Chains A and B, each alone.
Chain A
Amino acid sequence: MAEAIAFYTLAVLILGLGVAVVTTPKTVHSVLFLVLNFLCVAILYVVLRAEFLAVIQVLVYAGGIVVLYLFVVMLVNLKRAPEAHEDPRRLARLGLGLSGAVLLELAGIVVYSYGRAAPSSAPAAPVEGIVGNTEELGWLLYTDYLIPFEVASVLLLVAMVGAIVLARRES
């Protein structure tokens, strides 16, 4: 019951804030709604017993990526409205229709696949004091997934160098 209340509250908050991110006319407000959305997703991770990922979500997304977005919004000093000009060939209605089709398709897949097999219910709570989520995840990352982990670190290095080169002012 408690999980149901938490899930529905968080689901309404996440979807509402997502709609707010996409529809707000001011970019700064959009970024602030995005922070709230990420924090709600972090709480949802706690409900799903992924405590380590909740912390990572707050640190990396709400703390790092969103600050980057805020920096860019502040740096980009617009002299006219960002959406003033519209390409006459742009088909926004078609885009809306297509994304509605994506939603319908995904809902159809869910109904189809869960309609036949009974949806699995949550497993019982694990016995206290075996291994923490962080410890278990760290073990997996440093044994079975060591090579992808290192590749990800190389990717982050490449992205960092690329971002510096791209954003540097050419003299």
Chain B
Amino acid sequence: MEITSAHYTVLSAALFSIGVIGVLVRRNVIIIFMAIELMLNAVNINLVAHARYLENLIGQVFVVFVIAVAAAEAAVGLGILLAFFRNKETVNIDEMNIMRW
């Protein structure tokens, strides 16, 4: 019973799909942000697994950059969320339509 890189790819694909479900189905913006973090984590698992199976550290270097971008995204996104909440008192994405039309 050996764990191959295909196992890690399937795990990563499943976690990514959970994130996609969260983004498309939930209406609370904070939970949508967390689902995006789940998707970034799925990508990171994939990169680390293949860095190990290909005996190459470049995948891990990429993960460092992905984590940096995730931190930047979380900071800016939550800042936007707070600014929006101060104006409209809601975190429901269905009510965030002032820029839609």
Contacts and interface: CB of A to CB of B under 8 A. Distances in A.
* Main SS class of interface, A: helix
B71 A106 contact: no
Interface residues of B, number: 75
A76 B75 contact: no
B14 A22 contact: no
B13 A106 contact: yes
Interface in B47-101: 48-49, 51-55, 57-58, 60-61, 63-65, 67-76, 78-83, 85-86, 89-92, 94-95, 97
A76 B91 contact: yes
A53 B48 contact: yes
Contacts of A19: 18
A163 B22 contact: no
Given A7-B7, A14-B11, A83-B26, 7 more contacts: A21-B38, A65-B37, A76-B81, A84-B92, A90-B94, A103-B14, A122-B4
